[in-house]
Structure 1
Amino acid sequence: MEPQWDDMKVFLAVARESSLSGAGRILKMDPATVGRRVARFETALKTSLFVKSPQGYALSAAGDRLLAHAEAAELAMRAGEEALTGPSDTLSGQIRIGAPDGCANYILPQVCSAISQDNPDLDIQIVALPRLINLSRREADMAVTVSAPTAGKLLVQKITDYHLHLAASRYYLRDVHPIETLENLRDHKIIGYIPDMIFDQELDYLSDLGIERVQLASNSVSVQIKMLAEGGALGVVHDFALPSHRPLRKILKEAFSLTRSFYLVRHQGDQRSERLNRFADALSKGIRAEVERLEGLT
């Protein structure tokens, strides 16, 4: 029995989802059919590609070696399809973007909605995770990150800078003594990240203030900002999030300001895909424009 390309696609889906049910949702197959296809592919290759455990399907050593070749074949197939069909005025298919939840909550909805309006046959998926997106496992086609990765065969493009300031609810500021210096912060509760869950050093904002204790913490930016809006504490907030939370006010703007950056990260091989190139260009331009627009409102 010769290996079939369709079985390679099943292998890739199971490798990325680590389960038959997850792969089935992507492939629009029932899990039992996915399992039979995996078994058929393993029989054709005369090797086991997965190790089953209570946590799901993990790649075996052979499966891990095959993964890079399968992804290269997938890219070649996509490039071939694009070469045959020629460029289209609009994009189609499915594209998945991974992003930290601050960007995913406050920037990407507007940007992706605009891209979707211009490309009605395109399905855009936003994966909002408070951790690094694993592109090697194809958790996403591309990712927005807050630092530029240095390992792996990746295309890394700086999108734009963004800014952060200390902020608090106007109701809270109304009821406390004026906060005039950074030393005054020690008299207030602080909202921030759970220290041992900060997945990128660029997110360790409070260390710049010498703050060690975080009385109210979350690994989610949106949760932190909602706690700030409730009052009773101070925290560091993205300027682009402030227009969505009118009760929040910047404080100590001259004494404390942070500049961070968004980067677009893609597989190096994806540069052969005109479809992904066009989407990446539209996404980057949209993020730059939206950050500038929202920060201008503050």
Structure 2
Amino acid sequence: MAHNWDDLRLFLAVARERTLSSAGKLVRLDPATLGRRVARLEKQLDAVLFVKSPQGYALTEAGEQLFRRAEAADRAMRLAMAEVVPPSDMLTGQIRIGAPDGAANFLLPQICAGLAADHPGLDIQIVALPRVFNLSRREADMAIAVSAPEAGRLVVQKLSAYRLHLAAAESYLAGHPPIRSTDDLKSHRIVGYIADMIFDRELDYLADLGLTRVPLASNSVSVQGQIIRQGGGVGIVHDFALPFLPGVRPVLAHDIHLERAFYLIRHADDRGNQRLSQFADLLSAAIRRELRRLEAKA
């Protein structure tokens, strides 16, 4: 039986987002209208596709079967559209990037502004969240991560290593005892992550220094940077963020220096999507250039 592709597109959005409100934002429909469209599809199919639970809309067995088929159709359509390459290699359409907030705040704004200027028909969305993105649910077209995932049908590309140092504001250092060794840190106020909200082991910087108490904490690295800038204490700062934090300088730079890496993650089904691949290449090169530029200024 043939069905309206638009109804299947709406079904996919609800299945991936699990709530009408979140799915409605993606497809630009209010939740009530979206709910009616899903109910209409269920009536057409004579099947219950969702069961409402405390966590949102859960797929039934019939819903799971339709989800697999609709996803296959969605992939086929994405690939077909990708084969139509715009003239002069100009990118168009919408691309959503998921990123940890350090990259989203200090790297992606200027990079994406440049890409948008070069490709006027391109709509770039940056989703900054302190967690791992689920590309299988199409939360984003691609994501930047601080560690390479080991599971899932994903394509993983290492972008670049980056450096981090302990840092503090000149105003804080002027009013507190000197820091000559790591032992001195025990008498200073520490700024860092909220321990139970660290979503990736690579972000657990302070544990390696034996610093277990964090009097000033946030799940956002940009908030941590602003706390440090305001003289709140001492914390780990990305070298590429230092140019955005005037008055903040590295502390114990020769004794404490960390290195991490950014990875670009894409869904394996998008491997043949020329448009996304072209954008990924441009984004990767721009991130490497911007990291070099900012770290040279740190």
Please report how far the alpha carbon of residue 48 of structure 1 lies from its aligned counterpart in structure 2 after TM superposition: 1.9
Matches within 5 A, 1:193-232: 193-232=193-232
Q: Which runs of 4+ in 1 moved over 4 A?
A: none
Structure 1 residues 36 and 232: alpha-carbon distance in aligned structure 2, compared to 1, 3 A threshold: closer
Q: Counterpart in 2 of 1:236? A: 236
CA positional deviation for 1:14? 1.5
Trace 1:141-290 onto structure 2 (pairs within 5 A): 141-290=141-290
Provide the residue aligned with 2:59 in structure 1: 59
- Mapping for residues 82-121 of structure 1, pairs under 5 Å: 82-83=82-83, 85-88=84-87, 89-121=89-121
Q: How does 1:125-140 map to 2 (within 5 A)?
A: 125-140=125-140
In 2, Cα distance between the equivalents of 1:74 and 1:273? 12
After TM superposition, the structure 1 stretch with the greater mean CA deviation from structure 2, 39-48 or 88-97, is 39-48
Can you list the C-alpha shifts for 1:129-166, whole angstroms capped at 9, x where unaligned?
Answer: 11111112111111100000010100000000001000
* Aligned residue type for 1:196: D
Contact kept? 1:194, 1:217, Cα under 8 Å: yes
How much is the aligned-residue C-alpha RMSD, in angstroms?
1.6
Q: 1:226 to 1:19 in 2, by over 3 A?
A: same
Once the two structures are TM-superposed, the CA of residue 263 in structure 1 deviates from its matched residue by: 0.3
Q: Which runs of 5+ in 2 are unaligned?
A: none
2:21 equivalent to 1:18 = no
Could you report, residue by residue, the CA deviation over 1:2-57 in whole angstroms, capped at 9, with x for unpaired residues?
A: 33322211111112332333333332334333223212322333322222245532
Q: Does the 8 Å CA contact 1:165/1:250 hold for their aligned counterparts?
A: yes
Distance 2:61 2:242 in 1: 48
Looking at structure 2, the residues matched to 2 and 44 of structure 1 have their Cα atoms a distance apart, in angstroms, of: 10
Aligned-partner Cα distance in 1 for 2:71–2:283? 23
CA offset at residue 62 of structure 1? 3.4
Structure 1: segments with no counterpart, 5+ residues: none
Q: 1:51 corresponds to which letter in structure 2?
A: V
Name the SS for the 1:266 alignment partner.
strand
Deviation at 1:93, TM superposition (A): 1.1
| Identity percentage of aligned residues | 58
**Structure 1 counterpart of 2:224, one-letter code:** Q
Change (3 A) 1:206 1:80: same
Task: Work out whether residues 79 and 270 of structure 2, in 8 Å CA contact, stay in contact via their aligned partners in 1.
Answer: no
- Partners in 2 of 1:29 and 1:70 — Cα distance? 20
Given that 1:2 and 1:44 are in contact with CA atoms closer than 8 Å, whether structure 2 keeps it comes out as no
Cα 1:187–1:55 change in 2 (3 A) is same
1:294 and 1:284 map into 2 onto residues whose CA distance is 16
Of stretches 113-122 and 60-69 in structure 1, the one that deviates more from structure 2 is 60-69
- Equivalent residue, structure 2, for 1:69: 69
Give the match's secondary structure for 1:139: coil
Q: Per the alignment, in what secondary structure is the counterpart of residue 237 of structure 1?
A: strand
Q: How many residues align?
A: 297
Letter aligned with residue 124 of structure 1: I
**CA, structure 1 residues 129+86, in 2 after alignment: closer, same or farther (shift >3 Å)?**
closer
- Checking the alignment, whether the CA contact within 8 Å between 1:72 and 1:269 is kept in structure 2 is no
TM-score where L is the length of structure 2: 0.94
How far apart are the structure 1 equivalents of 2:139 and 2:294? 29
3-state SS of the aligned residue for 1:173? helix
Cα distance, 1:294 vs structure 2: 0.5
CA distance in 2, matches of 1:224, 1:147: 21
**Contact 1:98–1:128 (Cα < 8 Å) also in 2:** yes
AA in 1 matched with 2:133: I
Once structures 1 and 2 are overlaid, which stretch shifts more, 252-261 or 47-56? 47-56
The residue aligned with 1:37 is 37
Instruction: Give the drift of 1:72.
Output: 2.5
SS of corresponding position for 2:281: helix
> In the TM superposition, what is the alpha-carbon distance from 1:74 to its structure 2 partner?
1.1
